[in-house]
Amino acid sequence: MSNELKVPTMAELFAAGQQPEVLFWVGCAGSFDDRAKKITKAFVKILNKANVSFAVLGTEESCTGDPAKRAGNEFLFQMQAVTNIEVMNAYGIKKVVTACPHCFNTLKNEYPGLGGEYEVVHHTQFLKQLLAEGRISMEGGQFKGKRITFHDPCYLGRANGVYEAPRELIRKLDAELVEMKNCKKKGLCCGAGGAQMFKEPEKGDKDVNIERTEQALETQPEIIAAGCPFCNTMMTDGVKNKEKESAIAVLDIAELIATAEDL
Amino acid sequence: MAYLPQIIFAVLLVLGIGFFAKNVKRLSRNIKLGKDVDVSDNKSQRWKNMAKIALGQTKMVVRPIAGLLHVIVYVGFIIINIEVLEIVLDGLLGTHRLFAPLGTVYDILIGSFEILALLVVVAVVAFWIRRNIIRLKRFMKPEMEGWPKQDGNLILYIELVLMFLFLTMNGADYQLQQMGADHYVQAGSFPVSQFLGPIFAGMSESTLILVERSAWWLHIVGILMFLNYLYYSKHLHILLAFPNTYYGNLKPKGQFKNLEAVTNEVKLMMDPSADPFAGPAEDAPVPEKFGASDVTDLSWVQLLNAYTCTECGRCTSECPANQTGKKLSPRKIMMDTRDRLQEVGKNIEANKGAFVADGKQLLGDYITNEELWACTSCNACVEACPVSIDPLSIIMDMRQYLVMEQSAAPTDLNNMMGNIENNGAPWPFNQMDRLNWTQEQ
Ligand code: SF4
Ligand code: SF4
């Protein structure tokens, strides 16, 4: 796990007169949150291994504006969007990949109306594509036969209809994919969306992430797989709340693959 | 005097339909109080959705038991309209079983109506048990107390009575046919009502005619009353489900609209050549209100949604906020919107066509901030709704009003927004540190 990460920035490539195949949109969580940074690194390791030509915006990237928009602040959202679009268009970006379903949804669906038209894919879709093209290979290795349940991120699943890519990757690990009673279209929110991540929940009987974690625990998993840094945090907190953190790991699909390939 | 029944029938029919038409006009006026939206795109996809979701009931059967029961009542309702057509024509022309010459086809028709009627009775009883004995959780939420609960039961009673009258009418008719009574042609097949025989045994011909006629009249009067009850009830969905699924959202569920008024202002702010000190142009329109605080700020599709809501509570039972005991119930959002819209409509009528401020609005008087802030925007409610209603869009519009017009976001959210504004991230980290992760082990 020691080899250094190669993370070119758009500015560097631009200066060298190069255009990468894809822009990796890291997102705020992926850049700053300690847990999410591990997901970012795992994904970069896979990109490096597969020799994908990619770049990040680095310090030129700014919040997509998703949490502002879901909180109701359309002004702030559009300010962010317009600024980001200016940067991306200046670099002539065509394709974007991101490990955050919130960034994915916003870039894919809400930026085009403001002048930002890109092909946007979620990292699980991108990984599936790399696999199909033979640019990465996967063997189950240490995940062979492990019980893994997948928590559908609302903004990937219900919001955009992506259910299969993450599941296909889990199956490729030779793992046993067990579904929760609420999955796919009927998946239950982790409780972080709609800007809830940044505020205390309203009064109630329990928090949403606890409810969801209970559903996950019902499947008696060894691993809870996630495809969103926010879901990851919520499920990790839930597992801790149930004092199951020594028995059950919460891992992003990118982390699963990077670990399986011993990257 | 021979024409008296026909005249009475015609008068009843005209009154019943006329009154209904008046309410339809009210309904359409109220819906048009909403803002205009362009939903003229993608016609073929829209027709398909309507055929699949409203006609084909595809979203009803996601829950198999309720779905099956509903399909029975729905098919019964549609088929029985053919029977109603005959009744109406008979009533106007003074004939009896006008369609009888269809012969075997007629026998099959009447026979299948009878079987459906029986199935409807079974379904209605099952529905009643679910609501009143099993007391399914989603029918027991606070917003279901009072009228909504009565409304739900009332329709079951009406349906039961209508089916019972239909079968009584046929049963008596069957006996009269057996007796060879005048006017009662031998027609139809009565797989269900023939078993009512013992009840009629020993009745004279004139008594049977009285029973048959009373059931016939009560049946059609009941149907006319049912038609007029619709406007006051969640049962409006049997009509509005069709336009509502047609106008339903076709975009990805995660795609929220970008407010155009904001886009214009943002462009102006970002435009380096714009004069920051220039006042608004003389002819500039009054700045639009951002978001929604009352029903007239919503779009007409959202208002149509509110009238279409059947109060089934599928949205609420899937809502993560509601499941974990928070105040938010997407069904209540829809019911509140409808209630307020009715109130505004009545106000307009009372004031000769113009709305007079009543010191109330949807936000605050009906829907509280606490409900609005509990939403995770997960779209579970939207997915669950069997008639393509989008409660989330109303929640989001009202949040926009809270934030952009009233600056009334919870403190934590204000901090988050402040961070985005200053650092380009929802957390207080410096944008210049965005690449630090590449250096960390
Ligand atoms: S989007 Fe909001 S109202 Fe709808 S189910 Fe999710 S939390 Fe509930
Ligand atoms: S919004 Fe839809 S799901 Fe919710 S109660 Fe109304 S009809 Fe049922």
Q: ipTM value of the model?
A: 0.95
Q: Show the DSSP H helices in chain A as ranges.
A: 10-15, 27-32, 34-49, 66-71, 74-90, 101-105, 123-132, 164-172, 208-218, 229-241, 253-260
**What's the predicted TM-score (pTM) here?**
0.94
pLDDT at B401: 97
At A132, give phi and psi (nearest 5°). Answer: -65, -35
Residue A2 has pLDDT above 60, yes or no: no
Q: What percent of chain A has pLDDT over 90?
A: 94
Q: Which listed CATH number (1.20.120, 1.10.1060, 1.10.287, 1.20.140) goes with B260-423? A: 1.10.1060
Residue found under tokens 């679009």:
A85
Q: What is the mean pLDDT of each run of 10 residues along chain B (441 residues)?
A: 88 96 96 95 96 94 93 88 90 92 92 94 95 92 93 94 94 93 89 91 92 95 94 94 97 95 86 64 68 97 98 97 97 98 97 94 97 98 97 98 96 97 95 93 74
Q: What are phi and psi of A9, to 5 degrees?
A: -100, 160
What pLDDT sits at residue B287?
66
Fold of A10-129: Rossmann fold (3.40.50)
Q: Which of B387, B369, B370, B390 is nearest to B379 (CA)?
A: B390
Q: How far apart are CA B363 and CA B329, in angstroms?
A: 15
Q: Are B30 and B340 in contact (CB under 8 A)?
A: no
Burial class (CB in 10 A: 0-12, 13-18, 19+), B422: exposed
The per-residue pLDDT for B63 is 93
What are the helix (H) ranges across B32-103?
A: 43-49, 64-93
Mutate to test the pocket of ligand 1, among B334, B368, B377, B396 (most ligand atoms within 8 A of CB): B377
**Tokens 């009542």 -> residue:** B73
* A174's tokens: 């030779």
Q: Using a 6 Å cutoff on CB, does residue B367 contact ligand 1?
A: no
Does A201 contact B374 at a Cβ distance shorter than 8 Å? yes
CA A192 to CA A235: how far, in whole Å?
A: 10
Contact between chains at B252 and A159 (C-beta distance less than 8 A): yes
- Candidates B320, B403, B424; nearest CB to A188: B320
Q: What pLDDT, on the 0 to 100 scale, is given for residue B283? A: 60
| Substitution site in B315, B338, B392 for ligand 2 pocket (most atoms within 8 Å of beta carbon) | B315
pLDDT of residue A41: 97
Q: Please give the pLDDT value at position A94.
A: 97
Is any atom of ligand 1 closer than 6 Å to the C-beta of B385? no
Reading the block at residue B1, the tokens are 């005097």
Which helix (H) or strand (E) is A96 found in, with range? strand A95-98
pLDDT in tens, A123-176: 999 999 999 999 998 876 789 999 999 999 999 999 999 999 999 999 999 999
Q: How far is CA A46 from each of CA A5, A52, A54, rounded to the nearest angstrom? A: 10, 9, 12
The domain spans of chain A are 10-129, 137-260
- Write the DSSP symbol of residue B141: S
* Spatial contact of B316 and B332, defined as CB atoms under 8 Å apart: yes
Query: How much is the pLDDT for A29?
Result: 97
Site from A41, A45, A75, A117 to mutate, B interface, most B CB atoms within 10 angstroms: A75
Contacts with B258 from chain A: Cβ below 8 Å: 74, 78, 110, 113-114
Predicted pLDDT of residue A1: 46
Cα-to-centroid distance, B310 and ligand 2 (Å): 6
Of A76, A193, A196, the CB nearest to B421: A76
φ, ψ for residue A252 (rounded to 5)? -75, 155
- CB spacing of B417 vs A68 below 8 angstroms: yes
- Nearest chain A Cα distance for residue B208, angstroms: 55
Chain B interface test: which of A7, A61, A63 (most B C-beta within 10 Å): A63
Q: Do domains A10-129 and A137-260 have the same CATH topology?
A: yes
- Nearest CA of chain B to the CA of A28: how many Å? 6
Distance CA A236, CA A224 (A): 9
Question: What is A137-260's CATH number?
Answer: 3.40.50
For B417, nearest residue in chain A (alpha carbons): A68
- Coil vs helix vs strand at A31: helix
Mutate which: A1, A33, A162, A196, vs B, most B CBs within 10 A: A196
Per-residue pLDDT, B285: 61
Strand order in the sheet with A22-25: A54-55, A22-25, A95-98, A119-122
